[in-house]
Amino acid sequence: MEKWPSHVAAARRSTRVPETKELYGGWCRGGYEIKLVDIPTWRLAVLEPISVPSRLARPHTVVQAMQSETQPLGLTKPVQGRALRLIQALITAVKTAGHSASAGRTGFAPPPHRRRSAPPHFTITARGQTVGFLVLQEQDRTEHVATEKELAAAKKDSWVRIPRFDHTPSERLRFVLSGGQPHRASEWADAPGHSLEKQLAQIAQEVTLRGEAAERRRQDEIEAARQKRIRWEAAMEEARIRYAEVYRIRHLEAQEAAWHHATRLTGYVSAVRAQVEAMPPGQARTDAEGWISWAATTVEHLDPLSSPPRLPDVPEPRADDLRPFLGHWNPYGPTS
Q: What is the domain extent for residue 35?
A: 4-39
Mean pLDDT, the chain, rounded, equals: 91
Find out whether 200 and 93 touch, Cβ atoms under 8 Å: yes
Q: Is residue 253 part of a domain?
A: yes
Residue 184 sits in the same domain as residue 68 = yes
Once rounded to an integer, what is the mean pLDDT over residues 261-277? 94
Q: Is residue 44 part of a domain?
A: no
Residue 124 sits in the same domain as residue 215 = yes
With a CB cutoff of 8 Å and minimum separation 6, the contacts of 237 are none
Q: What's residue 1's pLDDT?
A: 54
Q: Is residue 169 part of a domain?
A: yes
Q: Is residue 335 part of a domain?
A: no
Once rounded to an integer, what is the mean pLDDT over residues 118-128? 96
Residue 207 sits in the same domain as residue 155 = yes
Q: Of 166, 201, 222, which residue is a domain's last? A: 222
Sign of torsion over alpha carbons 36, 41, 46, 52 = negative
In angstroms, the CA 277 to CA 281 distance is 9
Q: What's residue 137's pLDDT?
A: 94
Q: What's residue 19's pLDDT?
A: 74
Q: Is residue 113 part of a domain?
A: yes
Residue 79 sits in the same domain as residue 162 = yes
In angstroms, the CA 141 to CA 274 distance is 120
Phi (first) and psi of residue 251, to 5 degrees: -65, -40
Residue 295 sits in the same domain as residue 217 = no
Look at residue 252 and tell me whether its pLDDT is greater than 90. yes
Q: What's residue 168's pLDDT?
A: 82
Query: Tens digit of pLDDT for each residue in 187-206?
Result: 999 999 999 999 999 999 99
Residue 187 sits in the same domain as residue 85 = yes
Lowest mean pLDDT among 12-21, 107-116, 190-199: 12-21
Look at residue 161 and tell me whether its pLDDT is greater than 60. yes
Residue 205 sits in the same domain as residue 89 = yes
Q: For 113, which DSSP code?
A: G
In angstroms, the CA 63 to CA 104 distance is 11
Look at residue 263 and tell me whether its pLDDT is greater than 60. yes
Find out whether 206 and 185 touch, Cβ atoms under 8 Å: yes
Query: Tens digit of pLDDT for each residue in 275-292?
Result: 999 999 999 999 999 999
In angstroms, the CA 331 to CA 336 distance is 8
228 band by pLDDT with thresholds 50, 70 and 90: very high
Count of domains for the chain? 3
Q: Which residues pair with 180 in a beta bridge?
A: none
Look at residue 134 and tell me whether its pLDDT is greater than 70. yes
Indicate the SS3 state at residue 41: helix
Lowest mean pLDDT among 64-73, 134-143, 255-264, 286-295: 134-143
Q: What's residue 147's pLDDT?
A: 85
Look at residue 336 and tell me whether its pLDDT is greater than 70. no
Residue 217 sits in the same domain as residue 96 = yes
Lowest mean pLDDT among 21-35, 72-86, 213-227, 311-325: 21-35
